[in-house]
Every structure is written in structure tokens, then in C-alpha cells.
Amino acid sequence: MLQTRLNQGLHKINLHPTGLCEQCSEIQDCKHFIFKCKTTEELRKEISKWAHSEIRECKYEEVLNKVEVLYALVKFCSKHELII
Ligand SMILES: [Zn+2]
């Protein structure tokens, strides 16, 4: 399993006290980051353009299998200087 630098991943290796998103107070994992976080609304809009529909958490694997979505994710993280 891949480990992320999101707070849940950092919490698993004792580098974050709670694993929660500091903006939303929910577990900060990949699903939260992509589908729910208050700070990634711009990312969801970009992904929805490629997915040609509103993205939903139930389509997680489907969404991440699209190269255009991965490109949007990389572009968003690069723009905001995020490492996930
Ligand atoms: Zn959040």
C-alpha cells in the first residue's frame, strides 16, 4: 500500500498527532483530499471537466484510473506546492 504525506499517512508513522485535516477536522486521506476537502474545490472542478460529470467518492478507483484526472491532480499539487 502506498503511503501518502497527507495527515492520515503521517499519523500512521507518528509524524502527525491526529491524522485529521486542519481545515475540515475529518480524517485527511486521499478520498478526503480529492472529494471532500474545503481546500480542494478548485481541484474537483478541474477533475469534473475531464470526467464530464460531478465526481463522487463512490467512483474513487474509476476517477483515479483516468490519466487526465491524475494530470489535474499533479497540476493542482504543483500549483499549490503540495506534496501528497
Ligand atoms: Zn479537509
Q: What is the domain partition of the chain in residue ranges?
A: 7-79
- Span from the CA of 66 to the centroid of ligand 1 (angstroms): 23
What is the tens place of the pLDDT at every residue in 27-51? 999 999 999 999 999 998 888 887 6
pLDDT for 54 equals: 65
Whether the CB-CB separation of 24 and 35 falls below 8 Å is answered with: no
List, for the chain, all residue ranges whose pLDDT scores fall below the cut of 50. Answer: none
Q: Name the pTM for this structure.
A: 0.81
Distance between Cα 63 and ligand 1 center (Å)? 19
- The Å distance, Cα 67 to ligand 1 centre, comes to 24
Calculate the CA 32 to chain-centre distance: 6
> What integer pLDDT is reported at residue 38 of this predicted model?
95
